Amino acid sequence: MSLKPKAVTCQCGHTFTSNRDRSWCEKCANAVYYHEKDKNKYKLSNMYVTGVIVAVITFLTYVFMELIATPLLSL
């Protein structure tokens, strides 16, 4: 998906033209967002992904305990 080229400014002050939602600064390699408000959106989605991964690991640990530990304890 390509957007209309627009000048974006990085935190370090480097200004360049971007036509993507998120691109990388050539000077400091930070993420620079086409829409300023996307910063929070990406941050939220990162937190959501982290939450899902933690939930999956917790679930797998639980299943592992149920399948491996419980039969051993009930011997």
Amino acid at 14: H
In the complex with Zn ion, the residue whose CB is nearer, 27 or 64, is 27
**Between β-strands 31-33 and 22-24, what pairing exists: parallel, antiparallel or unpaired?**
antiparallel
Q: Min. distance of Cβ 21 from Zn ion in angstroms?
A: 17
In the complex with Zn ion, the residue whose CB is nearer, 13 or 71, is 13
Give the interface with Zn ion as residue ranges (CB under 5 A): 10, 12, 14, 25, 27-28, 30
Answer yes or no: are the C-beta atoms of 21 and 38 closer than 8 Å.
yes
In the complex with Zn ion, the residue whose CB is nearer, 30 or 58, is 30
